[in-house]
Each structure stands twice: as structure tokens, then as C-alpha cells.
Structure 1
Amino acid sequence: MATCAVNGGCPSDYAAVSISLLSIFLLIGKAVAPHLIHKIALPKGSSFWLVTIQIIASFNLIVSIVMSLGFLRFKRGHWWSSCYIWAVWVEGPLGFGLLLSSRIVQAFQLYYIFVRRRLPPIRSFIFLPLVLLPWIIGAAFLHTKKPLNNRCHMRTQWIIPVICLHALYVAAMVGFTAAIRHIEFRFHELKDLWRGILVSTCSIGIWVIAYILNETHEDIPLVQIVTRFLILVMTSVLVLVFFSISISQPLLSLMSLRKDEHQEYSMMMGRALGIPDSGLLVRTESLQSVDSNEPFDKLLSNRRFRQSFMEFADSCLAGESVHFYEEVQQLDRIPDSDHVRRIYMARHIIDRYIAPGATMEVNISHRCRQEILSTLDLAHANLFKNALIELIHLMKMNLANDYWSSTFYMKLKDEAAMKTVDHELETGGWNFSQRLSSVHCTDDPFHQEHSPRKLGSSTNRDTELQLREKFP
């Protein structure tokens, strides 16, 4: 026992390593399953790289503990096995520090978007290094002072500052989460954060106790083996349960939604938020033919025309403006009092169409774009009004003229004509109202029954003529 407590390779060590490997596989599976199984598109920007960073940080944290605490039998004579690489840099700034910093950035985003109702003033790729900076400074300081021995244990006076740094980041995440506790989220953002805090607090509590015992009782083999096992297992539990995708991709919470050729991603967002008639053509839609002389904004309000025009624009690889118009129409169906859903939809529209480098970035002026990105109220009713005005004018000038001579418009006219005929047959049908026939009764091949009143008056006139002939 004494030998494996120092050199590693105890049965409990291999069991802990197996648990950690399983947690890594489950972590990666949880991240990629929605995209592979349910065909949900990969998010862009911070929604993607924040999640990726959390996975990398979780992997670094687990591997650094395995390497620094000597779970496996290997000699530390090589440079790659240095305690300051694994126990200081990989476990600190690149492991626990990076993992907690990513979660703090997500909580910071939730606070600004749903409490302050505006986009965060600092971009995530700038804010994350600032949050991580204390860990980098602390690692550089430890590397300079070199307090670790050949078994990667440090002296008691260094343990308290290290534990305080861990606790400081947990407290920061608790503070941001407490600031958004009153928001009624549509999905599971707050629940995930609170669950992460609860699990991380319990795990870190056990982890801290085991870490302190492991550092201070280096001469007791049994304590080394047990505490080493607890440290790695608690870390595996921490990174697995602590990981969750929050505001970055709310559609991942709705596994019943699938992306196929008939269901656009934008319509999925509308359905996810429960917006009425999202992406559906209602049966009460106008059946009248489209008049090209009508104002273009009025034509776009007709959903049958808008669907046909969208298909034409997509065929020209210029459908971003029409899709943007469609999603803003969905946003307008959300009541002004429902701030949370309006913020969800507004942020989705900004990420998809407005933000620089967005997947379907629309062609609007810089002034209009900055007006949206710097808004003080993401739930404002006229947030995208100016952008819509510019895009409608752009569509009218560029796409509309070609549309009127396209096969898409011809197909729309034919469908409207056919539906108009079908509608008249359904509502009118055969007219069985009573009317006089131009054929007299005995010669009427259909033997129609004539109106009693008119038939009676005709019979009276015939009788009167017969009487006059007999009695002149």
C-alpha cells in the first residue's frame, strides 16, 4: 500500500481514472448529441466557443489531477511530467479557473440580457480573459516561488490562498445567479445554473477537504489513497453535472423539434417560444390574386405571397431579408408585456441576422445596425423598425422586379386561381333556389316546381282570357 500511495497504480486509482474517463465521454456526448441525433445546427459566436471552452477546461482539470497526484506509475524525470505544468498551469488557469470563468461569463450574459434588457457591454471573448486574469497571475506567482515538492504537494501557508481563489470564483457565480433569480425563464437557464452551483458547492466542499488532507498528511499512505480517489471522483462529478448549455442555445432543450427540409430553423425558434402560427399558413389566408401595383409592404403582409417570394429569393441566394421579415413578424405576435419571450426572440434575430459575421447577415446601414446592437431595451416594440424599412426598400428595388416575371409568381397566380374556384364550389355549390323555367310545365324536361305565387298569378290570367273569348 505504501508503494502505490507514493508511486500510484492502486486499484482505487484505476477505478477513479475509469470513472473520470466515463465522465469525459458522457460530457462530450451531452454536448454533441443534440446536433448529431436531432440535426440542430451548430450555434455561432460565443454560443459555440463558450461551450467548447467548458469541455476543454473539464478535460484539462481531470487530466491535470491524474498527472499531478500520481494516479499512474511514471517517473517525473521528464519535462512533460513537471508538477508546475500540471498542478499549477493546467489545473489552475486552464482547468478549474477556465471552467468557472466560462460559467461566470454565461451568468453575466443572462444578467445583462434579461435584467438590464440589453446586450452585454463587453464582448465575451474580452470578458473571459479578464475574469481568468487572477488565475494566470496566481499561476505565474507560484511558478516563480516554486513551493511544490517532487510529489506536487505544497506547504500549508500556500494552501489557504489557493482555496480562497477557488471559493472566490464560486461566490462570483452565486452572486450573478442570485441577481437573476426573479426572472421567469422560458427554458432551463436558471435551473441549470442553480443546479451547477449546488452540485459544485457540494463537490468542491468534499474536494477541498480531501485536497487539504492530501496536502497535509503526505506521510500517511491510507489518507493519500482515499483522498486522491475522492479528489478525482468529485472532479468527475463536478464537470459532468456542472456542464450545461444555457442561454446560448435554448432550442437544445426541446428535443421534440427536428430540423428537416420542410421546417426552417427560424420557424423552430418560433415554435419553441410558443408563438401562434409560427411558420404555418392559415386556412383563412386571403385567396385573392396578388396585384403587383399594390404597395410592396402590403404584399409582404400576405403570407401566401411572402412564402412564394421567400422561395424566389432563396433561389437567388438572397433570401436573408425575407427570412428576417418573417421572424420580425413572429416577434410582433408576442405581447409587449411578455418581456422574456420577446428578449429570447430579439436576441435570436440579432445573432442570426444583425451581428457582424452572422450566418444570415442582412444588408443594412451601419447606423441602423449599431442602433440595434446598442439598444437599451431588447424587448422594445420598434427595435427592428428601421431595419425593416431599409430592407423592404431594398427588396422592392432589387428582387421584386425580377419576381413578377419569374415562374414563382406564375405558380402563385395559378394556385390562387385554382383555390378561388375551389372556394366558390365549397361555399356556393349547386344553386337549388326556386326560379321560373323558360319552358312551360308539360315541356319542362326537368319538371321544375315553379313558385306557387307566380304560378297562381299566371293561371288566373289564362282563366280570364278564356272567359273573355266565351263571353265577349
Structure 2
Amino acid sequence: MGSCAVDGGCPSDYVAVAISSVSMILLLMRSLLPFLIHKVPHVKGSGFWLSAIQVFASFNLLVSIVVSLRFLKFERRHRWQSCYIWEAWIEGPLGFGLLLSCRIAQAYQLYFIFVKRRLPPIRTFVFLPLILLPWIAAATLIHTRRRLNVRCHMKTLWIIPATCLHAFYVIPLVGYTAAIRHIEFRFHEVKDLWRGILVAAASVAIWVAAYILNEIHEDIAWLQVSSRFVLLITTSVFVLIFFSISSSQPLLSQISLRKREPREVVTMGRALGIPDSGLLLERGPNPLVDPNEALDKLLENKRFRQSFMAFADSCLAGENVHFYEEVHELGKIPLDDPVRRIYMTRYIIQKYIVAGAPMEVNISHQTRQGILCTTDLAHPNLFKDAMHELLQLMTMNLAKDYWSSMFFMELKEEISMRQDGQELEHFEGRNFSPRLSFVENSDDPFHPENASKVSTFDSHDSTLR
């Protein structure tokens, strides 16, 4: 017990490392399986990168604890095992600090988007380093002052500021969550944030207690082994639960990996409960398509829109039509439901408007900046100028080629066949002969009442004979 408490390699150490490895594997599965199994589309915005950074920070935190507290026994110490690399930098700024900073960034975004109804003024890639500045300053101070001994332990006077720094990062998370508690979120973001705060607070309390015992009582072997065991197990559970209740991917909250038949979530419109039909309805049982009609009127025809979208996708220019359809999906949400409108607006901006978006549309810089700098994400005319520009672009380019394409020929043939089928169905549904269509029931010899009269007359006539 005495030698392994100093050099590492105790049985409990290997058990803790195995548990932490399992938790990391489960975390990776939790982050990747929805995309691999259910083919969930993701938007490469701040929500995606915050989730990826949380996985990276969780891995750093676990590995730094294993290396710095000597859970594994090495024959000799190497330069890469330096206490200042793992204890001061990777465990602090790149581990726990980065993990909590990602959750603070999520709460910060939710506050500006749903309370202020505008995009955050500070981009995520700038906001994260700003939050990490206290951790970076603390790591720099510890490194320059050389406050770690050969066992990666600090003196008593340095332990208190280090532990307070962990608790300090829970405070802004509580503040932002309290500021958005009155918003009726669709995907329970506030509930997830409060649960994350409770998990973080409880984990930090246990983590700090085990950390202080491990740092102070270096001479008690059993306390060293048990405290670092509790420290790693608590951290393993913390990173797994903390990521599992992340609110950065609202579409993933609609999917449960425990269900055999998961709910199909293809678009944000379906996740928000927007009906597939509504404003964009076919204008009759078999609407005709007139090439001389305005494109925006034609796109209200659901079947034409599907055909035109397929043609645009084949020309690698389908983002304009997809943008048009999703903006009209936004129009189906009532104006007195700003929360759902903001969800849909934010999704459209991340998918089509921001620079480098997966389906970035070709609009003017002025129009793009007007959308990104809006002070009301729920405004009904937010995408009006962008829609006007894209309709002009599609009219001049895609529409001209569409009328001579096979997609339009197939659409005309389908409409013609449906019209012929409906006429035949309408014809077969009427239960009378065309030749006797103007004969009333009283004069119809084939009517049941008259048929009985004819039968009676014939029998009476045969009797007379």
C-alpha cells in the first residue's frame, strides 16, 4: 500500500482508470450515435463546436488526473509527465475550466437569443477565451512560481485559491440561467441548465474535498489511495452526466437511444411541431402549372415545389429552394408564439445565412448583415429582402432551365394522369346509364317499382288469355 500510494499502480487505481475509460467511451457513444445510427443532420455552428469542445475538455480532465496523481505506475518519469503540463494547464484551463466555460457560453447564447431577441454580440470563439482568462492567469502564476512538488501537490496557501476557482465558475452559470428562467423553452433548456448546475455543484463539492485531502495528507498512504480513487470516479461520473444533459443540440433532445423506433426528426420544423401542410397547399385537386405565372406563386403549389426542388438539387443549387421552403415553414408559426419563431429563425440563420453555413445562400452583404444584426429575431419580415433576392435569382437562372428539363415533363405527365384518373373515377362513381340519364324514376322501366308493375301486368294478361 505504501509504495503504490506514492508510485501508483494500486488495485483501486486500475479499477478507477477502467471506470473512467468506460465513462469516456459512453460519452463518445452519446455524442456520435445519434448521427451514425439515426442519421440526424447537424449544423456546423456554435452548438456543434461547443459539444465537440466539451468532449475534448472531458478527455483532458480525465487524462490529466490519471497522469498527475500517478494512477498508473511507470518505471521512470518522463518529461511529458511534468506536473505543470498536466496539473496546471491541461487539468485547469483545458479541462475543468473549458468544460464549464462551454456551458456558460450556452447559457450566454440563450440569454441573448431568447431574452434580448438578437444574436450574441460576441462570437463564441472570442467568448470562450475571455471566460478562460482567470484559468490561464492561475496556470501561468503556478507555473512561474513553481508551486508544485514532485508529487504534483501544492502548498496549503495555494490550495484554497485553486479550489475557489472551480466554484467561481458555477456563479455566472447560475446568473445566466436565472435570467432566462421565465422563457418557455421548447426543448427544456432551462431544466437542463439547472440540472447541470446541480451536478456541477455536487461534483465540485466532492471533488474539492477529495482534492484537499490528497494534497494535504501526503504521509497517510490509505488516504492518498482512497482520495484519488474518489476524485477520479467523481470526475468520470461528472463528465458523463454533464454532457448527457447538454442543451446545445435541441434536435437531439427529441431522440432517445433507448427506443427501438425513434421519433423521426428531419427538420427543425418537425421538431417544433409545425405541420407539413399549411400555407403551402395545393390549390386544387390537380393544379395546372403555367410557365408564364410568377415563380413565387408557382412555389405555393406543393407538387411543383417538390419537382422544382429536385431539379435545383440536381443542378447543385438547391439551397435557394430549401431556404424558401423553410422560411415559409417559419411563416406558419403564429406571431404570438415568439419562442418557436426564434427557434426556427436561429436554425435558418445557422443553416443558410452565416458565412460558411452548410447551405449558404447567395444574397447581398447588406441583406446578410441586416439579418445577422437584427434586434428582433421574431420579426415577421426578417427574411423578406433575402427571399426577394433569391426569387429573382431563381427566376433568371433555374426557372428558365427547368421548363425544358425532364423534371417538368414528368410533372406534366403526372398531372395529366391524375386528371384522367379523377375523371374516370368521377365517371364510374355515378350509378346510371348515359342513355337513360334523362329518364325519371317514374318512367324508368328498370326501376324496381316499375319492374314489379310490369311483372304484375304480364301475369294478368296471361290469365285473360
| C-alpha displacement of 1:191 | 2.4
Stretches of 4+ aligned residues off by more than 4 angstroms: 278-286, 430-439, 446-452
* Matching of residues 448-467 of structure 1 within 5 Å: 450=443
Secondary structure of residue in 1 paired with 2:325: helix
Corresponding residue for residue 87 of structure 2: 87
Contact 2:283 / 2:301 at 8 angstroms: preserved in 1?
no
* Matching of residues 16-35 of structure 1 within 5 Å: 16-35=16-35
Corresponding residue for residue 78 of structure 1: 78
Q: Distance in 2 between matches of 1:280 and 1:368?
A: 25
Corresponding residue for residue 311 of structure 1: 310
Corresponding residue for residue 176 of structure 1: 176
| C-alpha displacement of 1:438 | 12
Q: Distance in 1 between matches of 2:415 and 2:363?
A: 33
Q: Distance in 1 between matches of 2:437 and 2:99?
A: 91
Contact 1:177 / 1:194 at 8 angstroms: preserved in 2?
yes
Q: Distance in 2 between matches of 1:395 and 1:256?
A: 39
Secondary structure of residue in 2 paired with 1:27: helix
| C-alpha displacement of 1:142 | 0.5
Q: Does 1:252 align with 2:252?
A: yes
Corresponding residue for residue 100 of structure 2: 100
| C-alpha displacement of 1:75 | 5.6
TM-score normalised according to structure 1 size? 0.87
Q: Distance in 1 between matches of 2:193 and 2:224?
A: 33
Contact 1:187 / 1:253 at 8 angstroms: preserved in 2?
yes
Q: Distance in 1 between matches of 2:315 and 2:136?
A: 50
Range moving further from structure 2, 275-284 or 326-335: 275-284
| C-alpha displacement of 1:428 | 5.1
Q: Distance in 2 between matches of 1:152 and 1:70?
A: 9
Q: CA separation of 1:286/1:352 partners in 2, compared to 1, >3 Å: closer, same or farther?
A: farther
Q: How big is each residue's C-alpha offset from its partner over 1:370-399, in whole Å with a ceiling of 9 and x where there is no partner? A: 011111111111111111111111111111
Q: CA separation of 1:213/1:285 partners in 2, compared to 1, >3 Å: closer, same or farther?
A: farther
Q: Distance in 2 between matches of 1:63 and 1:175?
A: 30
Contact 1:16 / 1:232 at 8 angstroms: preserved in 2?
yes
Counterpart of 1:31, as a letter, is: S
Secondary structure of residue in 1 paired with 2:387: helix
Counterpart of 1:294, as a letter, is: E
Counterpart of 1:370, as a letter, is: Q
| C-alpha displacement of 1:402 | 1.4
Structure 1: stretches of 5+ with no match in the other structure: 258-262, 440-445, 453-472
* Matching of residues 70-469 of structure 1 within 5 Å: 70-74=70-74, 77-244=77-244, 246-255=246-255, 268-277=267-276, 285-427=284-426, 429=428, 431=430, 450=443
Range moving further from structure 2, 277-286 or 227-236: 277-286
Range moving further from structure 2, 22-31 or 210-219: 210-219
| C-alpha displacement of 1:307 | 1.1
Corresponding residue for residue 43 of structure 2: 43
| C-alpha displacement of 1:283 | 7.7
Q: CA separation of 1:264/1:423 partners in 2, compared to 1, >3 Å: closer, same or farther?
A: farther
Q: CA separation of 1:437/1:12 partners in 2, compared to 1, >3 Å: closer, same or farther?
A: closer
Structure 2: stretches of 5+ with no match in the other structure: 258-262, 446-465
| C-alpha displacement of 1:424 | 3.1
Q: How big is each residue's C-alpha offset from its partner over 1:261-305, in whole Å with a ceiling of 9 and x where there is no partner? A: xx998x532211110126999687551311112222111111111
| C-alpha displacement of 1:410 | 1.7
Counterpart of 2:68, as a letter, is: S
Counterpart of 2:406, as a letter, is: T
Counterpart of 1:303, as a letter, is: K
TM-score normalised according to structure 2 size? 0.88
Contact 1:437 / 1:448 at 8 angstroms: preserved in 2?
no
| C-alpha displacement of 1:433 | 6.7
Counterpart of 1:253, as a letter, is: S
Q: Distance in 2 between matches of 1:53 and 1:394?
A: 38
| C-alpha displacement of 1:412 | 1.4
Contact 1:8 / 1:73 at 8 angstroms: preserved in 2?
yes
Q: Distance in 2 between matches of 1:269 and 1:217?
A: 54
| C-alpha displacement of 1:223 | 1.5
Q: CA separation of 1:115/1:285 partners in 2, compared to 1, >3 Å: closer, same or farther?
A: farther
Q: CA separation of 1:334/1:247 partners in 2, compared to 1, >3 Å: closer, same or farther?
A: farther
Q: Distance in 2 between matches of 1:67 and 1:322?
A: 53
